Chain A
Amino acid sequence: MVLEARGLIKRYGSGVVALDGVDLEVGEGELVGLLGPNGAGKSTLVKICCGLVRPSAGSATVVGAPAGSPAARAALGYLAELFRFPGWAAADEVLELHQRLSGSDGGERERGELLELVGLADARGRSVETMSKGMQQRLGLAQALIGRPALLLLDEPTSALDPVGRRLVREVLLELKRRGQSVLLNSHLLSEVELVCDRVLIINRGGVVTRGRPDELARPRGVEVETAGGTRLFEGAGREDAPRIVSELVAAGESVYEVRVLRSTLEDVYVQAVSE
C-alpha cells in the first residue's frame, strides 16, 4: 500500500472530534476520492497523512514510513486547500524552490514539463501576485508533482478553477494514473470524482459512512415505463428486468412507448449517506 491509515482519531483541544476511527488505503497507481460535507474531517485526514496534523490515536503510513517522517514526506506531493505562494516569486522560481526543498534533480526541464502539463507554459516568468486564483491553483498542482512523488494528496484541487481548468486537472489526474502514481483526491465535485476515481470514500462526522467503486455505489433504482395509461415506475428493477416487464405489459394489453432504466447517481448515494 502506498498510503495506509488505521483507526485514525483526531480530537482538537476544544473538544471537537474531527476524525473518529478512520481506516483508509490507497494502492499503487490507485486514484481514491474523498467525499463529504464541510467539516466532515476530510482535510484533517489529508493533513495527518502529510504530517501537518498529529493524530490523537491511530496511525498512518506513506510507502511504509510513518506519516510526517522524512521518508514519508519524500514520497508525497501535497496541494493544500488553502495555500499561498510568495507574491513576488515567478512561477518558475516557485517550482525551483520546491525542487531544492524536495531534492529533485529535474532542473529546468522538469519545471518546463510541469508548467506545460498544467497549462502555464506561457506564464513561466510571471509573478504569482499577477496570476488569477485559478492559475495559482494550477501552479500549486505543478508544485505538488515535483520529483514525481509516489503519492499525491490533493485537497480541493479544482475549487478555484473554471470548467476548462477542471477538465485540465481531470486530464492530469488520468495521466498520473497512467504513470502509476497514486492519488488521494479530496473534492466536493461529485462528477469529477465519479469520472476519474477508482474508489470513493464518503466521510461524515469524522467517520467513513460509505466506500466502494463509483459504479458499485451507483445502484439500479428501477425501471420507468411510459404507456398509454401514463408513466409507471417498477422500483428495484434493473436493466435485466426490462424485457420481462415490457412483455408482461404488452401481454396485459398495454401500449408501451418508452422504457428507461434508472440508476442512482453518486450524488444520490452521497446525499443519502450524509443524511443518515
Chain B
Amino acid sequence: MSGALVVARHAVRESLRRRVFVVVLLLSVVFLALYTWGASELFDEVDAFDGNEFDVQPDTLAGATVLGLAMFAILFLGAVLATFLTLGAVRGDAERGLLQPLIVRPVGRVAYLGGRLLAAATVSAVYVVVLFAACVVVTGVLGWWPDRVVGPALALAGAAVVIAALSLLGSAVLSTTANGIAVFMVFGAGLTAGLLGQIGESLDAKTLDRIADVGSWVLPFEALYQHGLSLLTADVEGPTAAIVNLGPFGGAQEAPLALWPYAVAYVAAVAALAAWSFSRRDL
C-alpha cells in the first residue's frame, strides 16, 4: 500500500473511532427529517395554485425552491466536514506531537499531505453526494424530480473537495483555530460573491455581476455550487422559470465546460502550495 493510502486509511479510521461519522450521520438524519417535513408542507401549500392563470407549475416551483435551498445546506454541511477533517492536519498535529513520528518515516511529507487530502476529499465528497441523493429522492417522491441529478451531485462533490484542499493549505500555515476561522471566512466570501451575483442579476448591475464572476472563480467551490444549482432547473422555462429565479436560483450560473478542468487544476495548485509550505516548515 502506498504511503498516501496508509495515511488516508489512518485518517478515516481515526474519524470512525472517534465517532465523528456517527455524529455526522445523526445530524444528517435530523436534517433529512426536517427537510422531508418542510418539503411536504410546501407541496401541500402549493397545491392550491394548481391550474393558475399564469401557467406556473406549482410542483416545479415548490420542488426546485426547496431542493435549491437543500443544496445550499448540503454544501455547508460538506464544508464543515471537509474543514474539520483537515483543520489541524499540519500545524495542529505538529503542535500536539502527533505528526513528527509519522513524517520521519519513508513516506514523507508530500505523501502525508496527499493522504490527508485524499481522506478528507473522499469522505466529504461521498457525504454530499449521498445527502443530495437522499434529498432528490424525497423531493421526487413528494412531487418533483430535478432536470439533472448527476451534474449537481458532481458539482457539490467538487465544491467539497475544493474546500478540503483550501483547509489543508490553511493547516500548513495557520494554527488550528486561526485556520478554522479563515476557512469559514473564505466560505462566507464565496457565498457573498453568489449573493452579489443574484443582486446584480436582479438589478441588471454589470459591475456586481463581474465581481460575482471573479469571486466565484477565485473560490471555485462557489462556481461549482452555482453551476450545480442551475442544472437542477436546466429545462424549466416560461413563467415558472421566472419565479424560480427569484428564489435561491437567482445566483445560479451555468458554467462553461472549462470549470471542471479549472477546478481540478485549482485543487492541484492548492495542494502543491500546501506541500511546498509544509516542506519548508521546521517541526
Tell whether A and B belong to one assembly. Answer: yes
Q: How far apart are A66's CB and chain B's nearest CB, in angstroms? A: 13
| The residue from B100, B108, B282 contacting A83, defined by CB atoms under 8 A apart | B100
Question: Which of chain A's residues have a CB closer than 8 A to the CB of B10?
Answer: 97
Which residues, 104 to 134 on B, are CB-close (under 8 Å) to A? 104-108
- Assess the B104–A76 pair: CB atoms within 8 A: yes
Task: Chain B residues near A97: list those with CB within 8 A.
Answer: 6, 10
The one of B1, B106, B283 that contacts A102, using a Cβ cutoff of 8 Å: B106
C-alpha spacing A23/B244, complex, angstroms: 73
**Does any Cβ of B come within 8 Å of A107's Cβ?**
no
Q: Does B3 contact A (CB under 8 A)?
A: yes
A103 contacts chain B at the CB level, 8 A cutoff: yes
**Chain B interface residue count, Cβ-Cβ cutoff 8 angstroms:** 23
| B47 in contact (CB, < 8 A) | no
Known: A70-B106, A101-B3. A54 touches B282 (CB 8 A): yes
The verdict on A84 contacting B282 (CB below 8 Å), with A50-B104, A98-B105 known, is: no
Asked if A100 is at the interface (CB within 8 A of a chain B CB), the reply is yes
A61 contacts chain B at the CB level, 8 A cutoff: no
Complex-state Cα separation, A97 to B101, whole angstroms: 11
The one of B17, B96, B101 that contacts A78, using a Cβ cutoff of 8 Å: B101
A68-94 CB mask vs B (1 if < 8 Å, else 0) is 001001101010101111101100000
User: A154 to nearest B CB, angstroms?
Assistant: 13
The residue that B108 contacts in the complex, of A12, A73, A86, with Cβ under 8 A, is A73
Residues of B near A42 (CB, < 8 A) are none
Q: Which residue of B lies closest to A93 (CB)?
A: B13
Query: Is A51 an interface residue, CB under 8 A from the partner?
Result: yes
Q: Are A73 and B100 in contact (CB under 8 A)?
A: no
Chain B contacts for A101, CB-based, 8 A:
3, 6-7, 102, 105-107
Q: Beta-carbon contacts of B1-26 to A below 8 Å, as 1s and 0s?
A: 10100110010001001100000000
| Residues of chain A within 8 A of B98, CB atoms compared | 83-86
Q: Which of B14, B100, B105 contacts A80 (CB 8 A)?
A: B100
Q: A114 to B219: give the CA distance in the assembly, Å.
A: 49
Contact B97–A84 (Cβ < 8 Å): yes
Q: How many residues of A sit at the interface, in one of the four size bands?
A: 20 to 34
Q: Which of B100, B101, B108, B283 touches A98 (beta carbons < 8 Å)?
A: B101
Give Cα A53 to B97, complex, Å. Answer: 14
Q: Which of A52, A73, A82, A88 contacts B14 (CB 8 A)?
A: A88
Check A53 against B280 for contact (C-beta < 8 Å).
Answer: no
**Which residue, of A70, A98, A101, has the highest number of chain B Cβ atoms within 10 A?**
A101
Residues of B within 8 A of A102 (CB): 105-106
Q: Is B218 an interface residue (CB 8 A)?
A: no
Residues of A within 8 A of B280 (CB): 54
Chain A's nearest CB lies how many Å from the CB of B283?
4
Query: With an 8 A cutoff between CB atoms, is A137 at the interface?
Result: no
- Answer yes or no: B205 CB below 8 A from chain A CBs: no
Query: Within 8 Å of chain B (Cβ to Cβ): is A181?
Result: no
Chain A neighbourhood of B268, CB < 8 A: none
- Residue on B nearest A13 in the bound complex, by CB: B282
Q: Could you tell me if A140 and B18 are in contact, using CB atoms closer than 8 angstroms?
A: no
A80 vs B96: C-alpha distance when bound (angstroms) = 12
B1 (CB) vs chain A CBs: closest residue: A100
Task: Determine if B14 and A100 form an interchain contact, defined as CB atoms under 8 angstroms apart.
Answer: no
Determine if A186 is an interface residue (Cβ-Cβ < 8 Å): no
Say yes or no for B178: interface residue by CB 8 A criterion: no
**Cβ of A98: which chain B residues have Cβ within 8 Å of it?**
101, 105
Task: Find chain B residues with CB under 8 A from A138 CB.
Answer: none
A199 at the interface (CB under 8 A from B): no
Any chain A CB within 8 A of the CB of B103? Answer: yes
From residue B25, how far is it (CB to closest CB) to chain A in Å?
A: 18
A99 to chain B, nearest CB (A): 10
A143 within 8 A of B: yes
Q: Bound state CA distance, A205 and B250, in angstroms?
A: 65
Report whether B101 and A80 are in contact in the complex, using a CB–CB cutoff of 8 Å. yes
The answer to the question of A111 belonging to the interface, with a C-beta cut-off of 8 Å to chain B, is no
Closest to B105 in A: A101
Contacts of A103 in B (CB 8 A): 106
Residue contact A78 to B104, C-beta cutoff 8 Å: yes
Residues of A contacting B283 in the complex (Cβ-Cβ under 8 angstroms): 47, 52-53
Find the residue from B1, B102, B104 having the highest chain A CB count within 10 A: B104
Give every chain A residue within 8 A of B3 (Cβ-Cβ).
101
User: Is A82 touching B104 in the complex (CB atoms < 8 A)?
Assistant: no
- Complex alpha-carbon distance, A100 and B107, angstroms: 10
Residues of A within 8 A of B17 (CB): 88-89
5 nearest interchain CB pairs?
A: A101-B105, A84-B97, A88-B17, A74-B106, A83-B97
Q: A84-B96, A101-B3 are in contact. List 17 more A-B contacts (CB 8 A).
A: A12-B282, A50-B104, A51-B104, A73-B104, A74-B106, A78-B100, A78-B104, A83-B98, A83-B101, A85-B101, A86-B98, A89-B17, A97-B10, A98-B105, A100-B6, A101-B6, A101-B107
**Residues in chain B within 8 A of chain A (CB atoms):** 1, 3, 6-7, 10, 14, 17-18, 96-98, 100-108, 280, 282-283
**Can you name 10 A-B pairs with beta carbons within 8 Å?**
A47-B282, A70-B108, A73-B106, A82-B97, A88-B18, A98-B105, A100-B6, A101-B3, A101-B106, A143-B101
